Amino acid sequence: MILERILQFGKKEREVTEDMRRHIQLLCDACNTFKTAMEKQDRNLMREVIDLERQGDSVRRDVISHIYEGAFLPYLRPDLCKFVEVVDEVFDLLKDTASCYLDTDLPEPLRNDCVRVALLNFRMCEMLLITFEAMLEGRDLREKTLAIRIYEKKIDDMKFDIFSQAQEVGVTDFWSGKMLSDLISGLTSISDMIEDASDHLQILNLSTR
């Protein structure tokens, strides 16, 4: 049965689900912009990631406000809000990682692997949006959430190699090394939060059956 039929969506519910969709789409756009900025070494493009995070934060506030104005049944509201907050945490980490990039120079030996991780993060966001759409339509989520886990595992496998390569890169001082470490940590941790968001979609899906 389609989720919208179960919940008997009204105007408020449709507004919330549309804003949630827009929130995830903005995150996809931000991850894609981040990837492209790394590929092109374009700092102006990287600053657009920070602007997209601000837009995402505005959408998040709208979603939470509409939910607590009476959209959806009360028992669903905490899970809906939690999902939106987790997506917002991905945005926050992406923004912080973009800021680290702007404050440091990514060594050339690390660039290809870091771009690859950024691409996988973007693919995970795309799959999160597909999973959200599937949930609204009442379709099975297992294959989609499995795909997200596979992406996350690939990034996790790459993380050790990137840090190992980073140890071979000379840095001028402690703070340069710290900023590089923060950049790599942020970039390789985004996938963990996207997987968390996927898990919350599973919870929402089960709670509507």
- In tens digits, the chain (209 residues) has pLDDT values of 344 444 456 778 888 999 999 999 999 999 999 999 999 999 999 999 999 999 999 999 999 998 888 888 788 889 999 999 999 999 999 999 999 999 998 999 999 999 999 999 999 999 999 999 999 888 889 999 999 999 999 999 999 999 999 988 877 888 888 999 999 999 999 999 999 999 999 988 887 66
| Residue at 2: amino acid letter | I
Which of 73, 49, 67, 86 lies closest to 12 in space, CA to CA?
Answer: 67
> Which sequence spans correspond to the domains of the chain?
3-207
Helices then strands, counting H and E runs in the chain, come out as 7, 0
| Residue at 28: amino acid letter | C
Residue with tokens 């949006």: 129
Give the architecture (CATH level 2) of 3-207: Up-down Bundle (1.20)
Residue 94 and residue 190 in contact, taking contact as beta carbons nearer than 8 Å: yes
